[in-house]
Structure 1
Amino acid sequence: MGLQKSWSVIGGAAISGALGNISSNAGAIKSFLPGIVSGGLNSAFSGGNFLGGAIGGISYTSSVFGNRMTSTDINFAGYRYSISEMLVSDENTLNGATEAEFSRDTVLRVANAHYKNQFIRGSWHFVDETSDLSPYIRNQGYSFGGSNGLLVNGEKNAWGLTEILTHNDIIVWQRIYLPKGAFISLEQLDLTMGHEIFHTILNNARISDVEKITATNQRVRLHEYYTSRWEEKYIMFRGWRKLNLDMEAFNSAIETYNDLEPLMKKIKPIFNNYLKSTLK
């Protein structure tokens, strides 16, 4: 039997947040969510491929999935796609690290050990060929491959990627993509999963990512500021510093933007809670 490429994760007894407290069944929320997702909810809650085939009668490659929504298109007004990623900066992740099998069981083992009930609304998706990526991601220039079996976009390589679709700032769904190369070691996979899960938590809190261009023409992002700090503390807590894992660039320039202070105040307690939940 081949590797199951995708399965959904609904943490805890109920889904909370913008949808209200709803038990894990598709029928309970069909009347709330826009029609685009109603046809896909059964597969999402049963662990199937949420994006496979058609969703609510809309083709997989239609306007929503091609990110061609406009305010004049009544069917797609208010929909928005976005992507967060964990970029590769140092490929030396094998120094004393633990071997990891490219499998669903490996991800479940890590998730249950360190991130139980964290990824509350979304799905995992394995990638070992470009066709495993959604049309939107491929249209953004991503593919699977390179020398390390990661997510490739031009000169960039990524260990993992989070894709999110919102409607009027309410999450419709989000998905974490894990390429085969991220399983280079159990520790690197663990770090990648924790990084991407934190993105989903910030998304669930409706805290959008913000990008700034520094005086030295560097791109810095608000979410990545916090994921890099989580990675540093997580690696130290696990005793992995000697493994030379690949972690996010530690850029503090985002602290200099006064207009981001309100968002940073909102993120800080979320960051502290995530630290508390994972550093044990």
Structure 2
Amino acid sequence: MENFFTGMYRGAVFGAATAGIVSGISWVVNKLSNSYQYSINEMLVSDDNTVPGGTKADFSIDTVKKVDQSHYKNQFIRGSYHIVDETSDLSQHLRNEGYSYSRQSNRIINGGGSEVWGVTEQVTNKGKLVWQRIYLPKGTFVSLEMLDLIMGHEIFHSILNNAGLFDVEEITGTNQRVKIHEYYTSRWEEKYIKFRGWEKLKLDMTSFNTEVITFESFDIFKPKIQPIFNNYLKSTLK
């Protein structure tokens, strides 16, 4: 969406006959751009649970497409995949939020300095989803199994976003963040790993966010997310 508005504005500047027209178009573009909001979901890295192993995965968009077609066909809609091996592969919004790419770890670094396996960026307009992008850094391709798991995690974020059930978080008494999306993605990951027989690989998993059950603010979302979660399990555990 950023590129769309940038291209529109530049085209207007080069084609305008007077400064007044340029000024007017600039105002319209700024108004349109400002009506769009960006938000982010991410899967943090925890190397305590990760060991080398698994099937070799080539770093390419073709690998991503093959995994998508094999296990997640038609699940990721209104969006695109982006593979990342340099900071410029990230959107301007992510870079503005402090996200970058580390050549040392081959992972994305978030604004707080933590490494992440994958990022889902959403663009909304007046509360409605317009577009999504799933960013997969080169380090995600450490194995085909790890890539598969992370894609499934991010795709579930995208499904909830498509349903208008955007992530909500609370802070615990010990200053830990708990998120409703992660409560469900972690449970999907556990079942998916067992179904695929990948327990011995000790793949990195999301925190279970068990504190979610202690916050009444999450209660309104549970009955809406649970049937979506059940359908996602049914579609991926086969």
Q: Give TM-score, length-normalised by structure 1.
A: 0.73
CA distance in 2, matches of 1:108, 1:157: 24
Residue pairs, 1:1-280, within 5 angstroms? 52=3, 54=5, 57-58=8-9, 74-76=31-33, 78-90=35-47, 93-153=50-110, 154-280=112-238
**Structure 1 vs Structure 2 CA RMSD:** 1.8
Deviates more, 1:173-182 or 1:89-98: 89-98
Shift of 1:93: 3.9
Structure 1 residues 218, 92: CA separation in 2 closer, same or farther (over 3 Å shift)? closer
Q: Indicate conservation of the 8 Å contact 1:93/1:188, yes or no.
A: no
CA distance in 1, matches of 2:59, 2:104: 17
> Where is the helix percentage greater, Structure 1 or Structure 2?
2
AA aligned to 2:143 is: S
CA distance in 1, matches of 2:63, 2:218: 37
AA aligned to 1:190 is: D
Classify the secondary structure of the residue corresponding to 1:246: coil
Q: Give TM-score, length-normalised by structure 2.
A: 0.86
> Unpaired segments of 5 or more residues in structure 1?
1-36, 38-50, 60-72
CA distance in 2, matches of 1:185, 1:93: 11
Shift of 1:184: 0.5
Classify the secondary structure of the residue corresponding to 1:160: strand
Shift of 1:79: 2.1
Q: Indicate conservation of the 8 Å contact 1:146/1:152, yes or no.
A: no
Runs of 4+ in structure 1 over 3 Å off: 51-56, 73-78, 91-96
CA distance in 1, matches of 2:199, 2:224: 30
AA aligned to 1:111 is: D
For 1:54-99, what per-residue CA distance to the aligned partner results, in whole angstroms no more than 9, with x for missing partners? 556146xxxxxxxxxxxxx743454211000010012664443111
Classify the secondary structure of the residue corresponding to 2:47: coil
AA aligned to 1:122 is: G
CA distance in 1, matches of 2:118, 2:209: 20
CA distance in 2, matches of 1:95, 1:125: 24
Structure 1 residues 171, 100: CA separation in 2 closer, same or farther (over 3 Å shift)? same
What is residue 4 of structure 1 aligned with on the other side?
Answer: none
Shift of 1:53: 6.5
**Percent identity between the two aligned chains:** 60
Structure ID, larger Rg: 2
> Unpaired segments of 5 or more residues in structure 2?
11-29
Classify the secondary structure of the residue corresponding to 2:170: strand
